[in-house]
Structure 1
């Protein structure tokens, strides 16, 4: 039965999502400032961004399972407390590694809080209202893309880069107080703990994501190979243990549901595609088009506005079209947006970029309500935390792999596009090239570097378009046709079966 305070609860959960979603976008906008003021190298920036993802993805499944057992609201509040505290510590960072550590702590807080947002939605809304609730939840995530950078841009114009982390603090405090006052506590059936499953899950996921992140920079080094070996052994041992345990932390039969697996992996391909594209866009706006931080923040507004509008359209069309149709068509539209983005040249200006952002936003708005409806209907309420965590882990793993792989493609393609006479100091990144051009007074070097970066960004966007098409094909092959996806049947011990 739907909870009487469900819509107030949705407002609180949207606030929590806002805290989590604005953080990465603010940092993407602040990348040039970080490299200049903190003395960060491109590798440092990569780790500042990826430390969050590493810890987040590593702890999600464990945190989701524990929230089912000990209370989802409790873990929501714990996560906000950790994230807010880490944000305060980040403002005091003086070295890149200080910020990496703070970002890792933020990832831990987000891992505690994020699964609870979806699992509480599953608990307080019935199937007839979940699509509408998830559409609102998704819109707030897109609002964070614009609201975070706009607030961050204001701070970056008047204060040092560390001020952007203060945005999280009041939002976290509001979320904690509102969760205490409004959000009902919920948990799954009591069952024995699974300490071995916890240890294997954290070890396997953390080492896997670390290896993915390190691969573009370190190559197939001994440390990367060792990390991959540990990850494979730990995850295989985890799968064997969970399949034989009477009270598994993660019931592997969840993956036997075509809708759950299909929607999760399609979303992972989309996250793989968008992660590096967003990172490239912030540099394009500021260092190719010459926008300041505030203008760059507002330049992304068409994306968020299109997503917000077509989330409503997607939720409305879902009454007539199946979730499968919405997901497949939405991802194909997203692919078209990335293809348009790949055609942009150095002298095209902002208008073609606006068109591509709107097209990507339209596709995201169409696909998101259907994808989340499939996922939420496939997860039984007693397994809401761990089910949501598995989905988030798959998506965050896709983003980590995308940032690492496509980020590596961006760097390699940029260096390859530069003519041989360009000095080595300008080959590492566009930021270094523009600094060298300023120091030497060479306008030719600056123009050459910008052209090389746009060429590299086009290659990344074409790759992202292909991945979006692959996600659409995968969704077409796996998702069922009915608009409502039957949930996995429940078992007495709280486990799930197909």
Structure 2
């Protein structure tokens, strides 16, 4: 057996390692919807302005998304286990600081460090999966990763609503502390110290990548809030220019941060684009759905949150099963069905909202969305990363996670701007339906990409 097919640890220990890693992955992605529920109470308790309250979420997303290209490569250089533990320690300590923050300014500062901790740990599980599992078992393992990555945001509104309503907004941050400590202990015990890949990192490229992602993400994230004025366009133009410079530098560097030979792997280049379209859709549609249920249908927030539970449960239960199937069927077969199902679900959401259907009618697309989630994420991750060079797994994970996260930012900005415009031109429910219908376009492009898997 070759090195790429022989796992470094027994499979039962590998599954325990994956469970420990999944706790951190779940927490970093749950945060993006969990904390949003607490913002009104935070604003009231700390006497914060609306803009300050928005930055409690925005600063986390910035410090989480911007460094992902670098933090993925850091795993290659210093070891995925080491970087994960450092990230989880920072994330947990910052969460504790958030829970005790006496002012809005200190809360925002602690959130910045929490996002950085999340960025350090987030790319590592996917890299470790492809090093501790045999080639034939990566589909099942990636299915678990996909279940966590695709469903974490769906549970945020429910968990957040319960914690804020029953205990208070500080409980949202306190809950991270015991879970973070559990993950630290379990990862230290079960995840092995793996051979390091990169001998050094091109830090100049890293700085340029930070500028590129920062410029683009700030423009897309803050544009709808601040209005697309000259500064926003300058940020976007600067980010794009830095991105072009970054790509050029990768062709000249002896230790590139994002080796362009990654994209010579046929399935990875298609899968990275497809996960962008998934991030665009999955991380942005919760807002119009929740607004429709609560505003257009006058549903209590707790009930509206519970409406989304079947979506998350179906995704969690099905993803490992779909992952195992991915190892046995032709590449792209399940992905095509998944993307087509997600397009159908988004279309049904739009039709029902525009028709002012009862909330219970939405259960059909909600259930279909949960199934489609599992059929899209698990196969896409497995097929995209299964055959990339082992010495570049950190870079691969950083690029893949960056594509997902930038897709989420672009989706949130696009749907947010569309909702604001449409609601001035038509009824509220129709405006929410139009916003969701926009996701069909990137999903169709994603379907075209996965149809070319081989």
> Do the structures match in fold with TM over 0.5?
yes
Instruction: Write the distance in 2 (CA, Å) between the matches of 1:281 and 1:89.
Output: 32
The whole-number CA distance in structure 2 between the counterparts of 1:403 and 1:145 is 13
Does residue 468 of structure 1 match 2:443?
yes
Mean Cα deviation higher: 68-77 or 343-352: 343-352
RMSD between aligned residues? 2.5
Are 1:26 and 2:12 matched, yes or no? no
Q: Corresponding residue for 2:3? A: none
Report the secondary structure of 2:404's partner residue. Answer: helix
Residue 453 of structure 2: aligned partner? 479
Say yes or no: does 1:127 pair with 2:102: no
> Would you say the 8 A contact 1:38–1:95 is kept in 2?
yes
130-139 vs 153-162, which moves further:
153-162
Counterpart position of 1:386: 395
Question: 1:68 maps to what in 2?
Answer: 76
Cα contact 1:268–1:398 (8 A) shared by 2? yes
Tell me the equivalent position of 2:270: 262
TM-score between both structures, scaled by the size of structure 1: 0.82
Match for 1:166 among 165, 174, 179? 174
Deviations 1:351-378 (A, max 9, x none): 1221111111111111222101112213
Residue matched to 1:329: 337
Report whether the alignment pairs 1:357 with 2:331. Answer: no
| Higher Cα radius of gyration | 1
SS of aligned partner of 2:424: helix
1:283-340 deviation per Cα after TM superposition (whole angstroms, max 9, x unaligned): 3344444444443332211101221343245235435532312112211100111111
CA contact (8 A) 2:143 2:324 kept: no
Which residue of 320, 327, 352 maps to 1:344? Answer: 352
Give 1:442's aligned residue.
none
- Deviation per CA, 1:270-294: give whole Å up to 9, x if none: 2112332112223334444444444
1:488 alignment counterpart: none
State the 1:59 CA deviation. 0.4
| Shift of residue 458, structure 1, vs aligned partner | 0.4
Indicate the residue corresponding to 2:229 in structure 1.
221
Bigger mean CA deviation after superposition, 289-298 or 12-21 = 289-298
Measure, in 2, the Cα distance between the counterparts of 1:37 and 1:284: 27
Corresponding position: 1:200 with 2:175: no
Q: Distance in 1 between matches of 2:435 and 2:237?
A: 29
By how many angstroms is 1:152 displaced? 2.7
Kindly provide the CA deviation profile for residues 240-269 of structure 1, in whole angstroms up to 9, marking residues without a partner as x: 222112222221121232211111111111
Deviates more, 1:136-145 or 1:82-91: 136-145
Question: Which structure 2 residues correspond to residues 239-388 of structure 1 after superposition, within 5 A?
Answer: 239-318=247-326, 321-345=329-353, 348-388=357-397
Q: Structure 1 residues 175-184 or 94-103, which shifts more?
A: 94-103
Unmatched segments (≥5 aa) in structure 1:
418-451, 481-498
Match of 1:416, SS state, is coil
Q: By how many angstroms is 1:13 displaced? A: 1.2
Deviates more, 1:304-313 or 1:125-134: 304-313
Q: TM-score, normalised by structure 2?
A: 0.90
Find the aligned partners of 2:430 and 2:307 in 1 and give their Cα distance.
21
Summarize the Cα distance change of 1:471–1:32 in structure 2 as closer, same or farther, 3 Å threshold. farther
Alignment of 1:140-159 (within 5 A): 140-141=148-149, 144-145=152-153, 148-159=156-167
Cα distance in 1, alignment partners of residues 104 and 343 from structure 2: 35
TM-fit CA distance, 1:78: 1.0
Partner of residue 101 from structure 1, selected from 85, 92, 109:
109
CA contact (8 A) 2:139 2:323 kept: yes
Q: Report the CA distance shift for 1:455/1:235 in structure 2 as closer, same or farther (over 3 A).
A: same
Deviation at 1:145, TM superposition (A): 4.3
- Aligned residue-pair number: 445
Structure 1 residue 467 displacement after superposition: 2.4
Match of 1:439 in 2: none
For the structure 1 residues 416 and 38, does the alpha-carbon distance in structure 2 shift closer, same or farther, using more than 3 Å as the test? farther
* Structure 1 pair 8–313 and aligned structure 2 pair: CA distance change class (3 A): closer
Q: Is the 8 A contact 1:64 1:385 kept in 2?
A: yes
Deviates more, 1:398-407 or 1:316-325: 316-325
Give structure 2 stretches of 5+ with no counterpart. 1-5
| CA distance, structure 2, for counterparts of residue 373 and residue 107 of structure 1 | 26
> 1:78, 1:469 → 2: CA distance?
39
How far off its partner does 1:224 sit?
1.9
Distance in 2 (CA, whole Å) between partners of 1:284 and 1:41 is: 26
**CA separation of 1:32 and 1:412: change in aligned 2, threshold 3 A:** farther
**2:59 corresponds to:** 51
Name the CA shift for 1:59/1:316 in 2 (closer, same or farther; >3 Å): closer
1:408 to 417, 426, 429: 417
